[in-house]
Chain A
C-alpha cells in the first residue's frame, strides 16, 4: 500500500515542525526518514500514523484519504522508540493485544489468536519468551516483540520511530540487518525514522533527508550519498572538507587544480565552496605535479586499517581531513609536523548562498 503525503504542515506553538511536505512512499518499499533532532521526521511519522493531526494537508493510503481517520481505525503498525510494551502483560498478551481488543464480531477465536501470535513470535525468533514479562527481556528482544505486536494486526503500513535508538552499537548493527531481511520477507510498506546516516544508508531502499521541517533530498541511498543535493545533505551524510574555489565556465578551481562543475557552465569568475569527502583527497609526500596543494600535517591518527590526517592548507579555512589506507600511509612515510601535498580528485561545488536551494 502506498502512502501519499500531500502538502502537510504542522506547528507546535511557534515551532514549525513540518513545513509543507509532499512525499510519496511506494508500495512495498522500506524508506528511511533521516535528519537531525528537531528536523520534523518523528512528527511526520506520527502524522502518517494518526498520532498527530496535521494543521493543513492530506494523508492518503493507496489513494484513499485517511486524514480524518482515527489512529485506532487507520490500520498502521507503529513501533515506538522505547517500545511501549505493556509492562503488566506477558509477551504473549502484548502480541495478542491488537486481536483481543477487537469487537466481538471481528475478533478471531482463542485458538486462532494463539496460532497467530506463536507464528509471529517464531518470525521474530522469540517464541520461547511467550510467558515472560517485558522487563525480563533485553533491549533488542523488546524491540523485536514490539515489532511482532505491530505486525499482529496485519497493518497496511509499518512505521518505526528510531527503532534502534536505545540499543548499544553491536545489537543495533545485528538488528538492522535482521530488519532488512524481515522486510524482504514480508514486504509491507515501511517507514522508519533515524538520525543515524549509516543506518539509513544500510537498511533502506530509499532515503528522505529532512531538516527544519523540510525535505532536503529524496532518493536511493547511493544517490543521496554520492550526489548530495545541497551543502546540508553533504555535511549530514559523513565528514566533508570545504575548499575555497573559483567557478568559471563549468570548472571549479582550487589553487591550480581544475575539477569539472558542469552545472555552472554559464558562470564567469565567481567564488564558491568545493565540498570534498576525506577519501576523495589524494596525499603525496612530495610535489609530484604542479597542481597539488601544499599542506602541513598537524595530526596523524590510526583508526584500525585507516589512517586519518589533519592538514592545514591555504585553500581551506578549516583543517582538512584526509583518509588513506594504512599500507599507503606507510609507503609515503609521512610524519606529524612535516609537509605534504594534497589533491582533491572529486568535488561538488555550491555557491555561498545556496544553503537551502536544491542544486
Chain B
C-alpha cells in the first residue's frame, strides 16, 4: 500500500508509526512486484558469480598476462617488426572495409526507413544474413571462388592476380563478415525517427543533400558512431574467415588476431597477450561508446516525454 493510498483509506502514517514505533512505517511491508530481501541477494550473487567467471576473469587474465612482466616487455612485444606489420595490415584493411560498410549502412537504412517498397522484409533479412554464417564458411566461400584450385583460380593466375593468401582476400572476407553491423544499427533508428523532419526540411526549400546533411545526419549521429566503432572492432578482430584465406604469411598476410594465434602456438604467451591487450582496449572503448549512445538515447526520450 502506498502512502497516498494509506491516507485515503484512513490509515494515516501516524497510526502505522505507532504500531511500529522504532522503524517507521511498516518494516515488513513489501511492494507487490518485489521479492524478499534474501531472494534478491541470492539472485544478484548468483548472477554476478556467473558474470565474474565468464566476463571479468577473461578480461582480467588478458590484461594481467600482458603487463605481467612490465611495460618494457609489453612495449617491445607490440613494436616488434612482425607485430607492427600485423598492426599495419589490420589498419589498412579496416581503412578500406569500414568506409565501404558505412556507406552501405547509410544507403540501406535510407532506402529502407524512408520509402515503402515490396520485398522490404526480405531485404532486411538478407542484410542480417552474413551475421548468421560461420566465419569459417565465409572464408571457404572465397577460397573456392578465388583460390588457386578454385573456380576463378586459373583465370586469376593467368593475369597474375592474387586474391587468396593476399590482402584483397582478407579485405573481402572481412567486408562480408562485418556487412550488417552499421545497417543493423541505423535501420531501426531511422525507422523510429520517421520522415517528418525530412519532409519539413523539403517544404522549407532544402535539397535532398542538404536535408540529409543538416537534418538526418545529426539525428543519427550517435547510432552511426556506435555502428562504425562496432564494425571497426569486429573487422579488426575477425579471425575464422581470415584464418582460411590469409595463408598466415608472417609479416605479410597476418592480421592482428592471426599474429596472436601464431605467437600463442609458439608459446610466446606474454607477446600474444600484449597484442591482445590492444584489441581488448579497443573492445572496451567500443562498449563504452555503446553505453554513451544508450545514455544519450535515454536522455532524449526523457526530454521528449517531458
A residues near B206, Cβ cutoff 8 Å: 72, 97-98, 101
Are B215's CB and A86's CB within 8 A? Answer: yes
B residues near A86, Cβ cutoff 8 Å: 197, 200-201, 214-215, 218
A residues near B197, Cβ cutoff 8 Å: 84, 86-87
- B-contacting 9-mer, from A3-11, A73-81, A207-215, A233-241: A73-81
Are B201's CB and A80's CB within 8 A? Answer: no
Are B199's CB and A84's CB within 8 A? Answer: yes
A residues near B303, Cβ cutoff 8 Å: 135
Are A150's CB and B205's CB within 8 A? Answer: no
Q: How large is the interface on B (under 10, 10 to 19, 20 to 34, 35 or more residues)?
A: 20 to 34
Question: What 0/1 readout, one digit per residue, does chain A (108-145) give for beta carbons within 8 Å of chain B?
Answer: 00000000000000000000000000010000000000
**A-B pairs with beta carbons under 8 A, tally:** 68
Are B203's CB and A78's CB within 8 A? Answer: yes
Secondary structure class of chain B's binding surface, majority of residues: helix
Bound CA span A98–B204, Å? 5
B residues near A135, Cβ cutoff 8 Å: 303-304, 306
Which A residues from 143 to 158 make CB contacts under 8 A with B? 149-150, 152-153
Taking a contact as CB atoms closer than 8 A, the residue among A73, A74, A80, A88 that contacts B200 in the complex is A80
Q: In angstroms, how far is the closest chain B Cβ from the Cβ of A105? A: 13
Are B219's CB and A84's CB within 8 A? Answer: no
Is B120 an interface position by the 8 A CB rule?
Answer: no
Given known contacts A97-B204, A98-B205, A101-B205, A71 and B199 CB-to-CB distance under 8 angstroms: yes
Is B207 an interface position by the 8 A CB rule?
Answer: yes
Given known contacts A80-B196, A84-B197, A102 and B205 CB-to-CB distance under 8 angstroms: yes
Contacts A/B (CB < 8 Å), 21 sampled: A49-B203, A51-B202, A51-B203, A71-B203, A72-B203, A72-B206, A73-B205, A76-B203, A86-B200, A86-B201, A86-B215, A86-B218, A97-B204, A97-B206, A97-B214, A98-B205, A135-B303, A135-B306, A150-B204, A152-B204, A153-B204
Q: With A86-B200, A97-B206, A135-B304 given, can you name 4 additional A-B contacts, CB distance below 8 Å?
A: A85-B200, A97-B204, A135-B303, A149-B204
Nearest first, the 7 closest Cβ-Cβ pairs linking A and B are A98-B204, A101-B206, A84-B196, A84-B200, A135-B303, A78-B203, A88-B218
